[in-house]
């Protein structure tokens, strides 16, 4: 199915959608299952949302998979999440590559095993020339950490204070070269930004849904896009008829 046929009821399709994939643990708990089962179910949902996003004509999809604060979770859960990431790369990479998806990582690979780090780098290299959709995986990522990292790089480069501007700072971010998100979606009913793309989302539209991430399907994504299309973005200015 083409982007045009999927977007016929959407007046405006965002170029960049970012998603805080929340609710895996609660989804599992309500079903009497261990938390890791919820993470696996959430991972299985990635395929659905990536394909739906491409069909809707979204060009950039950022997925908040693991934050810098998530290291405080139980060791067994962290180990399980690392295994899930490894399995996803093994199982999905070839098909994503064939479908024209480019994979980008933001955050730090520190803390991952060397084997997993190599897998991530190989996936990035394999898909670097694809253009249908860019999947930005925020793994071991935090918004404040990203800003601190950017400042350190600017100091290392001896940037003249007079040269500092929002545009220059953006060039030192992990997301350099990637447009800021037009729409940020958070599943599970929580209404927090949770240290996600702190610099990049200052004028993003936010959409909160009570649906847990494993149940956030193509139709739920459409609802978010339709809601986005109904809004008027002013970027700090006034509406045209004001």
Residue 194, domain CATH: 3.40.1180.10
Residue 18, pLDDT above cutoff 90: yes
Q: How far is Cα 97 from Cα 37, in angstroms, rounded to an integer? A: 27
What pLDDT is recorded for position 5? Answer: 46
Tokens of 154: 């600017």
Is 167 within the bounds of a domain? no
In 3D, which of 140, 188, 139, 138 has the Cα closest to residue 29?
Answer: 188
Is 212 within the bounds of a domain? yes
Q: Total domain count for the chain? A: 1
Is 166 within the bounds of a domain? no
Residue 237, pLDDT above cutoff 80: no
In 3D, which of 177, 206, 185 has the Cα closest to residue 52?
Answer: 185
Is 164 within the bounds of a domain? no
Residue 240, pLDDT above cutoff 60: no
Contacts of 62 (CB under 8 A, 6+ apart): 16, 17, 18, 19, 106, 135, 136, 137, 138, 181, 197
Is 72 within the bounds of a domain? yes
Span 185-211, mean pLDDT? 97
Is 224 within the bounds of a domain? yes
What pLDDT is recorded for position 241? Answer: 53
Q: Give the structural domain span for 199.
A: 3-147+179-229
Q: What positions carry a catalytic annotation?
A: 22, 70
Q: How far is Cα 219 from Cα 52, in angstroms, rounded to an integer? A: 9
Is 162 within the bounds of a domain? no
Is 37 within the bounds of a domain? yes
Span 56-74, mean pLDDT? 96
Residue 141, pLDDT above cutoff 80: yes
Span 118-140, mean pLDDT? 97
């Amino acid at each position: 199915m083409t982007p045009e046929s999927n977007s016929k009821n959407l007046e405006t399709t965002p170029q960049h959608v970012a998603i805080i994939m929340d609710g895996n643990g609660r989804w599992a708990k309500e079903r009497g299952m261990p938390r890791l089962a919820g993470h696996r179910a959430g991972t299985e949902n990635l395929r659905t949302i990536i394909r739906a996003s491409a069909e809707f004509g979204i060009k950039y999809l950022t997925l908040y998979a693991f934050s810098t604060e998530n290291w405080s979770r139980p060791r067994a859960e962290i180990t399980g999440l690392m295994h899930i990431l490894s399995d996803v790369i093994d199982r999905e990479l070839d098909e994503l590559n064939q479908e024209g998806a480019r994979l980008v990582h933001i955050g730090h690979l520190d803390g991952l095993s060397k084997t997993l780090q190599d897998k991530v780098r190989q996936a990035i290299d394999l898909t670097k020339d694809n253009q249908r959709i860019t999947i930005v995986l925020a793994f071991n990522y935090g918004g404040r950490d990203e800003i601190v990292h950017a400042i350190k790089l600017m100091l290392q480069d001896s940037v003249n204070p007079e040269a500092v501007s929002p545009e220059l700072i953006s060039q030192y971010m992990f997301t350099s070269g990637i447009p800021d998100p037009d729409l940020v979606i958070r599943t599970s009913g929580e209404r927090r930004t949770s240290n996600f793309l702190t610099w990049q989302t200052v004028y993003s539209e936010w959409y909160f849904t009570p649906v847990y991430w494993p149940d956030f399907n193509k139709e739920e994504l459409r609802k978010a896009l339709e809601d986005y299309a109904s809004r008027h973005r002013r970027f700090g200015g006034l509406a045209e008829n004001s």
